[in-house]
Amino acid sequence: MNLNKLIVLSRSVKLGRNVFAARGACLHHFQSRRFIRSSARSLAYAKDLFLGKVNKAEVFPYPEISHEELEEINQLVQPVEKFFNEDVDSMKIDHEAVIPPETLNGLKELGLFGIQIPEEYGGLGLSNTMYARLGEITSLDGAIAVTLAAHQAIGLKGILIAGNDDQKAKYLPKLATGEHIAAFCLTEPGSGSDAASIQTRATLTEDAKHFLLNGTKFWISNGGWADIMTVFARTEVVDKDGQRKDKITAFIVERAFGGVTSGKPEDKLGIRGSNTCEITFEDTKVPIENVIGEVGGGFKVAMNILNNGRFSMGSAGAGLIKRLIELTSEYACTRKQFSRSLSEFGMIQDKFATMTLNVFVMESMAYLTAGMMDRPGVPDCSLEAAMVKVFSSEGSWICVSEALQVLGGLGFTKNYPYERYLRDCRILQIFEGTNEILRMYIALTGMQYAGKILTGKIKEMKKGNVGVVFEILGKKLKDSVVRTVDFGLTGKDGVVHPSLTESARMFEQNAAHFGSTVESLLYRYGKTIVEEQLVLKKVADVLINLYAMTAVLSRTSRSISIGLRNHDHEVLLTNTFCKDAHFKNNFLLTQLQKNSPENNDANIKKIAQEVLAKRAYVCSHPLDRTF
Amino acid sequence: MNAPRHLLRIQCIGYVARFLGKPVQRVILPAGAHLQTPGSQHNYGQLLRPFHCSAVCSTSRPSQTQLEKTVEDETLNKDKSLVTHDDLFERAARDSKTKADFNRVVDVFSKKDIRRRGHVEFIYAALKKMPEFGVERDITVYNKLLDVFPKEVLVPRNFIQRMFNHYPRQQECGVQLLEQMEIYGLMPNVETKVLLAQIFGEKSHPMRKYQRIMYWFPKFKHANPFPVPHVLPSDPVELARFSLTRIADDLDAKISIYQYPSTDITEPGEEVMRPHIVGIQSPDQRSLLAKHNSCRPVFVEGPFPLWLRKTCVHYYLLRADPIPPEEKVEEEFDLEMIGPEQSLFYPQRVELDLERDMGDDFSFSVDDVEEGPVYAMCMAGQGDQATLSQWISGLQETCPILGQIPTVFRLDSGPRELQTSSGAQQTPEQEVETEQIIEEEPLLSQRVKL
């Protein structure tokens, strides 16, 4: 007996609806039970969605910044925008595969190398939200954006979040001015996205004052010119039981320590101006004071750095697409074809709508996440940040490609920047954790969270506990009778503006459905869910859609309420996006049901297995004959 | 190429003949031949072939060879002596047996008598001799043999004939011919079909047989995912390479040739054969071997047979006993890195107290018999210990640990030779490696399938 059978059963019982309707009142407590179970401190919005809970206090109202901050950021944005429009020659950077020193100096003067470094260390000391805002502009040149991100989003972030005061005082001032450039050295030849197999080793010298670092790191952004590096290496640690174990430790390594050699810069498809190369450490002597955090605690440091770095990709993508909309719409409105301008054609309009929707959603998600991260305390937003990264990297790719398509053949030439944007944009889906890995991370983290809470209940169910079975049955029955799910987003005390009621309802339906799907997946797969990557991919996609819906609902509700300019357009976008996402979610959730005819997973796996066993396309040529 | 056209024409003529009556046939046929555009000689011959009538068939014999004389004698003396057609083939090709010789015999038989007396016996005899001449897989020869049948005369002309088995011996012979093609896995072609239609008619038993073959053969043609070519490489090294990749079935496995076959002449003038040694090892096997506990021995075992169609080759294994449970080292994982808390990449494990539901557990319960690991395989020209130790020392270059592991040779007495019943069938190349390759008489079923 499993959950799906119960669902079927509950459907068949629908006929007896009238009989049970009388008992509706006593069934009601099953519904309300859902809200009782919640952790004491709820900071995780996305994780709670796995339980079918909408933790609306987390995401409503949409985060705001203070007047002073807004003024400050506006003052900052203008010169940066001017600099990027006038002094940055992206085509030259791309062609020569190097950022000219005067451009770098300009960036340093603007303080863009120390955006998040506190003012006491000479940085701008901006919040995540303001960092995201600047990211919108820096993204206009992919190479510069990556260089800056490698420097401060990951390169020096370790010192910033886990370093002690001495380390901060020693390194941050020079890093903030851009005198020193930082890099983040985690990836190794043998361990692409698998950090567990780090081979670089740090051994303590006999005087116990230094570590000797040996190993090679791959794909290091800024590797060629970085002066300060955050390096992760294995160290031997004696754990509680007195056993020697290999643990990962984070070090601050100066190039001046010696024994550091960088290889030739990689010749890349996109972001060509950024410097990516291999770094080899050979008996590099690192003083023991340069350990970030504690010895053996490097893994957590690495995790925190990466978790926090990802959210800014949303605003970066949005900034880029906004610029592309300006460029392409000018072309579409002036170019005549068949004696009509391009902008009159439905298919062209479709492309602009796609781009607009994507920008809108990316922006909403990015600033919602940034706002959550800026809240006091240590909120765990790694899931949200990962979702922003996945959504915006894929959205950007689609939008850039559509923008190029509007120009047709012209977009394909080097005379226009579209092909460069397309190439630059491709890396977004690859670095800082590939989208595949992030999807796994999103789905599994949530599954783990939900599983911990639901295990007891599912076990009871598996044992065939009549009470629990009836409870579930009753809940299903009620769901099918009442049909509407109410998380309190709309209505009297609702947080969503009434003009978005329909969209909010769609979101609520999906969220409730998602909760029950997660439950049935846990019931079906238990801990072997880790192996079900195709299932997890769908789970992650539904969650990303749900989070995106939340973000746009929250943002637009605020816009309407405070009367931002063109908020009617936002309503339009929100309703359009929510409807679209609702259907997508319904399809994905149907696919996740057992024995769903829409689910092609088994076939997909089989196709791949047969092809991979031969390592070639297996079909005969259509022109082949047997006689 | 012309075959479909003939097929069409024969049907037309059939109708005309039916309409006008039998005598017309003779008038029309030469005319038909003239209607043909000025084609090549070959074309002309083909055109004539379907319609064997006395008017067309030439009786002139420009050069009467010895063979033809024999045949003639035979036919003349047929009533008196019992000379079989087997002898005809024997006599025709005492010194050489090739396709040309075979064709010559068939030609001679076809030309010697317009009535083709004894053609059924001849065809049976020819079918039997085909493997000897090495033409058992040649579609043109089968078509040529079919061509021996007289055309038109065996085709039923009315419903009674059609209802009963018309010319049963001839039909059975035709079926037998197709059966032999089937046994050798030979696909009939359009020409076969044309011939069958001309000889036996559209709905005869041989035609049915043909249709069945054409239905099933294409379907089964690629049924074997690991096909073995009809002609195996003659070079022993190439053959070993082919066989080893076939067994290993790991695309990463790498073949290394430790020794090429060669012959040295030593000081006293003795010839010393250096046998070939070809080995295969995959990266997985290499890493397994590197982890082998050097206190435990590895075994060189063999020879084991591998059949490639009618050829048997032998191979040797380097293997070890299964690791006893107490020595197995569970690979330790750092839970921090793969466990649920990690977010650097993604958790490779979740900590849940839930198993997979029975309804979603599609794994079979299979009793796993643990076997020892196989570290490498090889094929060698000689199965003695000296040769195989050379292989082991060759392996040591990539797996130095092998030098510290005791190696035990557990070799059987070498490949047992099955005495071949037809030594003559062995080609010279195959004789070189008699030690490994054993020929066997093809199993030819004599059943008649309809």
- pLDDT at B264 (0 to 100): 76
Q: Which of A574, A427, A404 is nearest to A501 (CA)?
A: A574
Give a yes or no: residue B337 inside a domain.
Answer: no
pLDDT band at A485 (very low <50, low <70, confident <90, very high): confident
- pLDDT at A578 (0 to 100): 96
List the single best residue of B182, B343, B355, B360 to mutate versus A (max A Cβ within 10 A). B343
pLDDT band at B368 (very low <50, low <70, confident <90, very high): confident
Superfamily of domain A303-436: Butyryl-CoA Dehydrogenase, subunit A, domain 3 (1.20.140.10)
Give a yes or no: residue B17 inside a domain.
Answer: no
In this complex, do B343 and A302 lie within 8 Å of one another by their Cβ atoms?
no
Q: Within a 10 A sphere around the Cβ of A534, how many other Cβ atoms?
A: 15
Q: Which of B364, B355, B352, B360 is nearest to A4 (CA)?
A: B360
Q: What is the mean pLDDT of residues A518-531?
A: 90
- Look at residue B28 and tell me whether its pLDDT is greater than 50: no
pLDDT band at B9 (very low <50, low <70, confident <90, very high): low
- pLDDT at A413 (0 to 100): 92
Residues of chain B with Cβ-Cβ distance to A626 below 8 Å are: 187, 217-218, 221-222
In this complex, do A455 and B353 lie within 8 Å of one another by their Cβ atoms?
yes
The first and second tokens of residue B438, run together, are 């054993």
Residue ranges covered by each domain of chain A: 182-300, 303-436, 479-611
- pLDDT at B441 (0 to 100): 38
Dihedral class, residue A248 (left if φ above 0, else alpha if ψ from -120 to 50, else beta):
beta
- pLDDT at A43 (0 to 100): 64
- Name, of A387-396, B267-276, B326-335, the range with top average pLDDT: A387-396
- Distance CA(A86)–CA(B229), nearest Å, equals 69
- Distance CA(A376)–CA(A128), nearest Å, equals 12
Q: Which of A94, A127, A122 is nearest to A108 (CA)?
A: A122
DSSP code of residue A222: T
Looking at the domain covering A479-611, what would its CATH class be?
mainly alpha
Q: Is A338 helix (H, G, I), strand (E, B) or coil?
A: coil
**Mutual angle of helices A24-36 and A466-482, in 10-degree steps:** 100
Residues of chain B with Cβ-Cβ distance to A445 below 8 Å are: 340, 343, 346-347
Give a yes or no: residue B332 inside a domain.
Answer: no
- pLDDT at A418 (0 to 100): 93
- pLDDT at B115 (0 to 100): 82
- Look at residue B183 and tell me whether its pLDDT is greater than 90: yes
- Distance CA(A323)–CA(A28), nearest Å, equals 52
Q: What is the mean pLDDT of residues B147-173?
A: 91
Greater pLDDT, B446 or A61: A61
Q: Within a 10 A sphere around the Cβ of A61, how many other Cβ atoms?
A: 15
* Count: domains in chain B: 2
- Look at residue B51 and tell me whether its pLDDT is greater than 70: no
- pLDDT at B339 (0 to 100): 64
Burial A438-449, CB ≥16 within 10 A → b, else e? bbbbbbbbbbbb
Residue B233 near residue B243 (C-beta atoms within 8 A): no
Q: Do B286 and B390 belong together in one domain? A: yes
Q: What is the mean pLDDT of residues A104-109?
A: 92
Q: Do B140 and B179 belong together in one domain? A: yes
- Distance CA(B30)–CA(B23), nearest Å, equals 13
Q: Do B201 and B250 belong together in one domain? A: no
Minimum mean pLDDT among A157-166, A392-401, B233-242, B408-417: which range? B408-417
Q: Do B250 and B189 belong together in one domain? A: no
Quick one: B360 exposed, middle or buried, by C-beta within 10 A (0-12, 13-18, 19+)?
middle
Give a yes or no: residue B226 inside a domain.
Answer: no
- Distance CA(A427)–CA(B153), nearest Å, equals 78
The first and second tokens of residue A190, run together, are 């043998």
Q: Do B255 and B205 belong together in one domain? A: no
Greater pLDDT, B323 or A364: A364
Residues of chain B with Cβ-Cβ distance to A245 below 8 Å are: 334
Residue A313 near residue A365 (C-beta atoms within 8 A): no
Q: For residue A531, what are the contacts with CB-CB under 8 A and spacing of at least 6?
A: none
Q: What is the mean pLDDT of residues A161-172?
A: 91
Rounded to a whole number of angstroms, the distance from the CA of A290 to the nearest CA of chain B is 22
Residue A486 near residue A32 (C-beta atoms within 8 A): no
Q: What is the mean pLDDT of residues A48-57?
A: 89
Give a yes or no: residue B169 inside a domain.
Answer: yes
- Look at residue A33 and tell me whether its pLDDT is greater than 50: no
Q: What is the mean pLDDT of residues A531-560?
A: 95
pLDDT band at B71 (very low <50, low <70, confident <90, very high): low
- pLDDT at A458 (0 to 100): 81
- pLDDT at B330 (0 to 100): 67
What is the extent of the structural domain holding B125?
A: 82-221
- Distance CA(A131)–CA(A76), nearest Å, equals 11
Residue A49 near residue A515 (C-beta atoms within 8 A): yes
Rounded to a whole number of angstroms, the distance from the CA of B447 to the nearest CA of chain A is 25
Give a yes or no: residue B68 inside a domain.
Answer: no
Q: For residue A210, what are the contacts with CB-CB under 8 A and spacing of at least 6?
A: A204, A285, A286, A287, A288
Q: What is the mean pLDDT of residues B136-149?
A: 93
Q: Do B139 and B272 belong together in one domain? A: no
pLDDT tens for each residue of A121-162: 988 888 999 999 999 999 999 999 999 999 998 888 899 888
Instruction: Tokens 């009142």: give the residue.
Output: A25
Q: What is the mean pLDDT of residues B376-397?
A: 89
Minimum mean pLDDT among A582-596, B174-188, B255-269: which range? B255-269
- Name, of A220-234, A347-361, A362-376, the range with top average pLDDT: A347-361
Residue B116 near residue B106 (C-beta atoms within 8 A): no
Backbone torsions φ then ψ of A182, nearest 5 degrees: -105, 160
- Distance CA(A388)–CA(A137), nearest Å, equals 18
Quick one: B310 exposed, middle or buried, by C-beta within 10 A (0-12, 13-18, 19+)?
middle
Residue B404 near residue B347 (C-beta atoms within 8 A): no
The first and second tokens of residue A267, run together, are 């010749």
Q: Which of B33, B27, B122 is nearest to B75 (CA)?
A: B122
Q: Which of B51, B310, B338 is nearest to A197 (CA)?
A: B338
Q: Is A419 helix (H, G, I), strand (E, B) or coil?
A: helix
Q: What is the mean pLDDT of residues B174-203?
A: 94
Q: For residue B382, what are the contacts with CB-CB under 8 A and spacing of at least 6?
A: B273, B275, B435
pLDDT band at A30 (very low <50, low <70, confident <90, very high): very low
Topology alike, domains A303-436 and A479-611: yes
Greater pLDDT, B167 or A493: B167
**Is A206 in the active site?**
no
Rounded to a whole number of angstroms, the distance from the CA of B219 to the nearest CA of chain A is 9
In this complex, do B356 and A524 lie within 8 Å of one another by their Cβ atoms?
yes
Strand pairing report for A291-292 and A336-337: unpaired
Q: Do B392 and B254 belong together in one domain? A: yes
- pLDDT at A23 (0 to 100): 40
At A483, which amino acid appears? R
Minimum mean pLDDT among A149-153, A362-366, A523-527, B58-62: which range? B58-62
Q: Which of B316, B296, B297, B295 is nearest to B305 (CA)?
A: B316
Q: What is the mean pLDDT of residues A260-270?
A: 91
- Inter-chain contacts counted by CB atoms under 8 A, chains A and B: 109
The first and second tokens of residue A93, run together, are 């950077």
List the single best residue of B350, B355, B358, B362 to mutate versus A (max A Cβ within 10 A). B350
Q: What is the mean pLDDT of residues B138-149?
A: 93
Q: What is the mean pLDDT of residues B109-134?
A: 88
Give A416-448 as a DSSP string: STHHHHHHHHHGGGTSSS-HHHHHHHHHHHHHH
- Look at residue A218 and tell me whether its pLDDT is greater than 70: yes
pLDDT band at A429 (very low <50, low <70, confident <90, very high): very high
Q: What is the mean pLDDT of residues A94-108?
A: 91
Strand pairing report for B298-308 and B311-320: antiparallel
- Look at residue A476 and tell me whether its pLDDT is greater than 80: no
**A458 part of contact set with chain B, CB < 8 Å:** yes
The first and second tokens of residue B110, run together, are 């076809």
Residue B230 CA neighbour count, 13 Å, CB half: 7
- Distance CA(B179)–CA(B448), nearest Å, equals 7
- pLDDT at B7 (0 to 100): 52
In this complex, do A447 and B343 lie within 8 Å of one another by their Cβ atoms?
no
User: Which residue among A363, A432, A471, A508 is the active-site one?
Assistant: A432
**B353 part of contact set with chain A, CB < 8 Å:** yes
- Distance CA(B328)–CA(B335), nearest Å, equals 20
- Distance CA(A474)–CA(A481), nearest Å, equals 10
Q: What is the pTM of this model?
A: 0.81
- pLDDT at B8 (0 to 100): 52
Pick one of 3.90.580.10, 2.40.110.10, 3.40.50.1820, 3.30.930.10 as the CATH number of A182-300. 2.40.110.10
Query: For chain B, what is the mean pLDDT?
Result: 76
Give a yes or no: residue B249 inside a domain.
Answer: yes
Q: Which of B221, B246, B263 is the last residue of a domain?
A: B221
- pLDDT at A483 (0 to 100): 61
Peptide bond before A61: cis, by omega within 30 degrees of 0? yes
- pLDDT at B401 (0 to 100): 87
List the single best residue of A382, A454, A524, A599 to mutate versus B (max B Cβ within 10 A). A524
Q: Do B211 and B248 belong together in one domain? A: no
Q: Which of B113, B105, B118, B102 is nearest to B170 (CA)?
A: B118
pLDDT band at B29 (very low <50, low <70, confident <90, very high): very low
Chain A: residue whose CA lies nearest to B187:
A627
- pLDDT at B66 (0 to 100): 59
- Distance CA(A486)–CA(B329), nearest Å, equals 54
Rounded to a whole number of angstroms, the distance from the CA of A395 to the nearest CA of chain B is 22
% of chain A at pLDDT higher than 90: 56
pLDDT band at A38 (very low <50, low <70, confident <90, very high): very low
pLDDT band at A14 (very low <50, low <70, confident <90, very high): very low
In this complex, do A524 and B359 lie within 8 Å of one another by their Cβ atoms?
yes
- Look at residue A175 and tell me whether its pLDDT is greater than 60: yes
- Look at residue B6 and tell me whether its pLDDT is greater than 70: no
Give a yes or no: residue B276 inside a domain.
Answer: yes
Distances (CA, A) of A229 to A122, A220, A226, A306, B155: 19, 10, 7, 15, 93
CA A531 to chain centre: 22
Rounded to a whole number of angstroms, the distance from the CA of A239 to the nearest CA of chain B is 12
- Look at residue B36 and tell me whether its pLDDT is greater than 50: no
